[in-house]
Amino acid sequence: MMKVTVNLYAGLEKHLASGKRKGNIIELKEPARVLDLLEKIGIPPEKVAIIMVNGRHSHFEDRLEENEVVAFFPPLGGG
């Protein structure tokens, strides 16, 4: 098992029981991809527009490593 830190933005935090926006520690079986993390949290991939791992743009199929920080952002709109 490995641990990653997850930050959820713009309403995605509702998918975690803690309701916390930042600093959520999630345990995953190794090897794990970003998509595996989303499935564990219960966020449908279509709800995510931007993925950042350690401050860099990432993709659903990218592999995760122990202690990485992952941020998910939904599609944003405005006017």
Q: Report the pLDDT value the prediction gives residue 10, as an integer from 0 to 100.
A: 87
**Tokens (6 digits) for 42:** 């219960």
Q: Report the pLDDT value the prediction gives residue 77, as an integer from 0 to 100.
A: 64
Domain regions of the chain by residue span: 2-73
Considering the entire predicted model, what is its pTM?
0.90
Q: What is the CATH number of domain 2-73?
A: 3.10.20.30
The model's pLDDT over 26-43, given as tens digits with 9 standing for 90+, comes to 999 999 999 999 999 999
Give the count of beta carbons closer than 10 Å to the beta carbon of residue 51. 20
Which residues are registered as beta bridge partners of 33?
63
Q: Report the pLDDT value the prediction gives residue 76, as an integer from 0 to 100.
A: 77
Q: Are 36 and 68 in contact (CB under 8 A)?
A: no
Lowest mean pLDDT among 5-9, 66-70, 75-79: 75-79
Q: What is the mean pLDDT of residues 18-28?
A: 87
